[in-house]
Amino acid sequence: MSRKVQEQQVDEIIFLGTGGARYVIAKQLRATGGIFFRLGGKNILVDPGPESYLRFLTYLPKFNPEKIDMVILTHKHIDHSADVNVYLDVITEGGFKKNGFLVAPADAFGKGGVVFEYLLEFLKEIKVIKAGLDIELDGLKVKFPIRHEHRVETYGFKISHDNYSISYIVDTKFFPELIDAYRADIVILSLLKLEPSDIDHLSVSDCENIIAGIKPKVAIITHFGMTIIRKGPWNIARALRTKTGVTVLAAEDGKHYEIKKLLSSG
Ligand SMILES: [Zn+2]
């Protein structure tokens, strides 16, 4: 019976936030709650930044957060991890139920980390991300191909399911290997800043290089800082589409993106 319910669930991506960086967090100009993937009956929460849990309840009012199958932290920066402990507490019912699966880089744990140590023993499974880590989740494959170049240990990932794949390239300096490592039908990119002056994040022209190199069916930009918001993410998405010939969307807070529609949008 429950299997039937799972089969009826539409595969989708929900942006619990599309903002990033200090000023956007402080003013909550865009939500900063990360991304929620509902694929093949599995529920994967990624990078729950500030206010993520509140956004989750708002954008998915009927979904029980205890049913989150996996929580991924791509890195420990506050705009990617602030609410992680709240979720782990909810998923484990405050420690009364051994539950939950946390995947994060080594520096997210222990001294200088962001995950409360007392919560770890409540979790059913923990995996430390290393380049090349492959996780199988009932038919879903989650791979962390290479480490990003960012101030702290950071990894993007690629999810493969049946006949489609989705990759998320998160905070990183541009380097050409990103293109081969994150080839997928749907590519999500963190685009924090307009100018290439920031060596720690992708710029608009870096995103152009990646999109032109991968040629996905659709690219989605997200994680906008102030310079992107001022310029208008949709204007940037449109310009990227003109330059690459690939459909590029600017993610919107709380919006549900159905995979089937994304794949046919090219
Ligand atoms: Zn970061």
Helix (H, G, I), strand (E, B) or coil at 90: helix
pLDDT at position 163 is 87
Contact (Cβ atoms closer than 8 angstroms) between residue 86 and residue 55 = no
pLDDT-above-90 percentage for the chain: 89
Cα 221 to its chain centre, rounded Å, is 11
Q: Cβ-count burial of 210 within 10 angstroms (0-12 exposed, 13-18 middle, 19+ buried)? A: buried
pLDDT at 3: 52
pLDDT of 157 over the 90 cut: yes
Residue 1 pLDDT greater than 50, yes or no: no
Cα–Cα dist 214/183, whole Å: 6
Model pTM score: 0.95
Q: Spell out the domain ranges in the chain.
A: 10-263
CATH of domain 10-263: 3.60.15.10
32, 50 Cβ separation under 8 angstroms:
yes
CA separation for the pair 7, 47 (Å, rounded): 26
Mean pLDDT of 102-107: 98
Residue 127 main-chain phi, psi, to 5 deg = -130, 135
Question: 266 vs 15, which has greater pLDDT?
Answer: 15
CA of 77 to the centre of ligand 1 (A): 5
**What protein residues have CB closer than 5 angstroms to ion ligand 1?**
77, 171
Cα–Cα distance for residue pair 32/173, rounded to 1 Å: 21
Q: What is the 223 CA–ligand 1 centroid distance (Å)?
A: 10
**pLDDT exceeds cutoff 90 at 114:** yes
Average pLDDT over residues 10-30: 94
For the chain, give the mean pLDDT.
94
Distance 9 CA to ligand 1 centre (A): 32
Q: Which residue has the higher pLDDT, 110 or 196?
A: 110
The answer, yes or no, to whether residue 2 has pLDDT greater than 60, is no
Length of the chain: 266
Question: Residue 6 — very low, low, confident or very high, per pLDDT cuts 50/70/90?
Answer: very low
Cβ contact 19:25 at 8 Å: yes
pLDDT tens digits for range 178-226: 999 999 999 999 999 888 766 789 999 999 999 999 999 999 999 999 9
Cα(150) to centroid(ligand 1), Å: 7
At residue 195, the pLDDT reads 80
Ligand 1 centroid, distance to 142 Cα (angstroms): 21
Cα 60 to middle of ligand 1, angstroms: 26
